[in-house]
Structure 1
Amino acid sequence: MTNPAHNTQAQFFQNLRTTLPSYTSMVDEVAETLNVSVDSAYRRIRGEKLLDFDELKLLCQRFNLSLDKFLSLNTDSIMFQGRLNTYHEDAFKNWMDDVLAQLNLVNSFSHRHVYFLVKDMPPFHHYYHPVLAGFKFFFWMKSILYYDSLKNERFSLEKNYFAPYQDITHKILRVYNKVPTSEIWNEEGLNTTLRQIEVYHEMGLIAHSEITLQLYQCVLEVIDHLEKMAENGKKSMFGHAPTEDSAEYRLYLNEIVLGDNTFMAEIGETKITYLNHSVLYFVGSIDQKFNEGMFRNLDNLMKKSTLISGTGEKERKQFFNKLRKKVQAKIAMVEVEK
């Protein structure tokens, strides 16, 4: 007779396998985590040797697995994993490293797709323009992560805030451009970035009005780039045409629903939902029922939205022109002040 404990353990390792990139050896990962030989790891994976509670804890912590799911508990709890906001001078670099690691994980799967319910323009799009990226980095470090070193500092172009993160930013963009993506937008998607520029300008935290105008111009150039990607239905680096490695880019317009920055990654047969918290940070869940519900919601929103990438030229031009008018109105206000 089959031992039920062995079946449960086999299901546990099947679930663990779905969290690993396709090129990763599960037996090697298990052996390293439990500090046992490869042969001993194989015996646990095959169910010949049962896991003890300490080993189960180590594996759950290492691979962000839910013990509820392992024990098949019918509870209403949903397990999330993620980082909390930290207040030290390496916090932003650590955040960027984590973003790159998550994108590399997604990109490691042959079947992969990312869905973004946009409230604010996704952070990756700010990275296309170095000056705009530098401003966003400065804003996040000063007003969200509270860097002491920036407490009395104003944003200027003399100090290049983009330069220290240029290498990792380019790595993030290169990986991001290889991941097929669907984004659900509406006209409010630019408001947060425009408001950040406006408030910093009003508070005197931007050194000169000319820099404020330049930032708005950067936003216009990013809008132009997004429109080209939508027209091509392909991602591309700023100022360049799509390449053979460029992933599909689907842009949906929904004029009714304001997004909440929900980010879902489909990798292999697994889905991960990332929910935004503390402005910059995300927590993720691989809970199957939760993700199935989230995906049904996203799928319904896309069905009720207008696809304006690769098709829908009239709607696409109208949408991007409305975004440009938002920015041009901000430019006019600054020019009147001068």
Structure 2
Amino acid sequence: MGTSEIQVQFFQHVKNLLPPYKSLVDEISDLLEISNDSAYRRIRGEKFIDLEEIKKISQHFHISLDQVFNLESNAIVFHGKLNSFTKDSFGDWLADALKQLQFIYSQKSKHIYYLVKDMPPFYQFYYPELASFKYFFWMKSILNLENLRNERFSMNNPMFQPLKETGLKIIQVYNMIPTTEIWNEEGINVTIKQIFMYYEMGIVQSADDARLLYSQLTDLVNHLEKMAESGKKFDIGKQPTNDSAPYNMFVNEMVIGDNTFLAQLENIRITYLNHSVMYFIGSMDPKFNDALFFNLDNLMKKSTLISSVGEKERRQFFNRLRRKIEEKMNLLV
């Protein structure tokens, strides 16, 4: 393949990453600070792009040159953000999660697959108090923010308000994307234990506060059961419509997921791997994603579909989740 052909292929890959309403020419001209005519000539391979331009485009669109040019290599290239260890690190994490979901939603064809180890955090953003608790726990115990070292949990802490606004945007976008989740009943244990541990430590200051959090968690489980029954995603307190995004829920009692998050888009696949408890790194490497999706297909074949069908299995699964919450709630004094 000649240099100009590789360049055309490179720009075709960039175009595939853009939402339909964006112009490749405008994006490249703005990014490289060149005229539209110069951008056109680069896109058509009539004018070669230099290494600095390749670097700028690749960094902006999170592109692995290895995957675009099909170079033979054992390397797998990932992109993602790490903890900045600042007071804004959690807000940055939420903003990046929203940005990734908005990118997926912008694609003409899209489907998300979630291998659940812990309940997908987006659902907990529905409830102001439960969302505040999760934000507080992540910032205090995972990110270890200095300003929260000696703080107790308060549901009305004003620092949570901008986080709640971003969280609501996240769940709204997530609910518009067709999704398949593979669960194990252990997936709810983490949040149950976090609430009880903070209650025993006196960080959640009263049994009433803990009961409210468990009550909201129960309501969330009830909502997930309704989505599984309908096979559609919709907001709490609403009903599914013909336009609601499809929702597939599998249960696998033999395997606990690892919070791997996969996206099948029109022309590419992306895998987001969990690291450092709450962070993700992503890869668009074709060979890597082909292997991941092959394993995903095998896992679904060995799991039980409980959305839309499987009423008995669905009732049994959600009853077990509710019992787990009730057992902990009964220990509150």
TM-score if structure 1 supplies the norm length?
0.95
Could you tell me how far apart the structure 2 residues matched to 1:303 and 1:309 are?
15
Look up the equivalent residue of 2:302 and give its one-letter code: K
Cα deviation, residue 167, structure 1? 2.2
Which residue number in structure 2 is paired with residue 290 of structure 1? 288
Matches of residues 66-145 of structure 1 in structure 2 within 5 Å? 66-145=64-143
Could you tell me how far apart the structure 2 residues matched to 1:197 and 1:161 are?
20
Could you tell me how far apart the structure 2 residues matched to 1:243 and 1:148 are?
46
Structure 2 counterpart SS, 1:333: coil
Cα deviation, residue 233, structure 1? 0.7
Could you tell me how far apart the structure 2 residues matched to 1:101 and 1:160 are?
24
Cα deviation, residue 245, structure 1? 3.9
Look up the equivalent residue of 1:82 and give its one-letter code: G
Look up the equivalent residue of 1:165 and give its one-letter code: L
Could you tell me how far apart the structure 2 residues matched to 1:87 and 1:261 are?
23
Q: Which moved more, 1:17-26 or 1:133-142?
A: 17-26
Could you tell me how far apart the structure 2 residues matched to 1:244 and 1:72 are?
41
Structure 1 counterpart SS, 2:330: helix
8 Å CA contact retained: 2:19, 2:108: no
Could you tell me how far apart the structure 1 residues matched to 2:139 and 2:292 are?
31
Which residue number in structure 1 is paired with residue 319 of structure 2? 321
Which residue number in structure 1 is paired with residue 21 of structure 2? 23
Structure 1 counterpart SS, 2:92: helix
2:302 to 301, 304, 314: 304
**Correspondence 1:252 to 2:250:** yes
Cα deviation, residue 158, structure 1? 4.2
Could you tell me how far apart the structure 2 residues matched to 1:245 and 1:163 are?
30
Unmatched 5+ stretches in structure 2: none
Cα deviation, residue 160, structure 1? 5.6
Could you tell me how far apart the structure 1 residues matched to 2:245 and 2:152 are?
38
Which residue number in structure 1 is paired with residue 183 of structure 2? 185
8 Å CA contact retained: 1:79, 1:285: yes
Could you tell me how far apart the structure 1 residues matched to 2:286 and 2:217 are?
38
Could you tell me how far apart the structure 1 residues matched to 2:307 and 2:174 are?
18
8 Å CA contact retained: 2:18, 2:107: no
Q: Which moved more, 1:249-258 or 1:213-222?
A: 213-222
Could you tell me how far apart the structure 2 residues matched to 1:275 and 1:122 are?
14
Q: Which moved more, 1:228-237 or 1:313-322?
A: 228-237
1:212 to 210, 213, 221: 210
Cα deviation, residue 244, structure 1? 4.5
Look up the equivalent residue of 1:86 and give its one-letter code: S
8 Å CA contact retained: 1:112, 1:266: yes
Could you tell me how far apart the structure 2 residues matched to 1:139 and 1:241 are?
31
Cα deviation, residue 71, structure 1? 4.0
Cα deviation, residue 212, structure 1? 1.3
Query: Structure 1 residues 64, 173: closer, same or farther in 2, change over 3 A?
Result: same
Cα deviation, residue 99, structure 1? 1.2
8 Å CA contact retained: 1:135, 1:161: no
2:47 to 36, 42, 49: 49
Which residue number in structure 1 is paired with residue 201 of structure 2? 203
Could you tell me how far apart the structure 1 residues matched to 2:270 and 2:202 are?
41
2:170 to 169, 172, 178: 172
Cα deviation, residue 317, structure 1? 0.1
Structure 2 counterpart SS, 1:133: helix
Matches of residues 206-245 of structure 1 in structure 2 within 5 Å? 206-245=204-243
Cα deviation, residue 246, structure 1? 2.0
Could you tell me how far apart the structure 1 residues matched to 2:194 and 2:164 are?
22
Could you tell me how far apart the structure 2 residues matched to 1:160 and 1:224 are?
29
Which residue number in structure 1 is paired with residue 7 of structure 2? 9
8 Å CA contact retained: 1:142, 1:150: yes
8 Å CA contact retained: 1:119, 1:259: yes
Look up the equivalent residue of 1:255 and give its one-letter code: E
Unmatched 5+ stretches in structure 1: none
Structure 2 counterpart SS, 1:274: strand
8 Å CA contact retained: 2:67, 2:284: no
The root-mean-square deviation of aligned C-alpha atoms, in Å, is 1.4
TM-score if structure 2 supplies the norm length?
0.96
Which residue number in structure 1 is paired with residue 269 of structure 2? 271
Could you tell me how far apart the structure 2 residues matched to 1:184 and 1:161 are?
33
Which residue number in structure 2 is paired with residue 155 of structure 1? 153
Could you tell me how far apart the structure 2 residues matched to 1:190 and 1:246 are?
25
Cα deviation, residue 159, structure 1? 2.9
8 Å CA contact retained: 1:234, 1:246: yes
Look up the equivalent residue of 1:205 and give its one-letter code: I
Q: State how many pairs are aligned.
A: 333
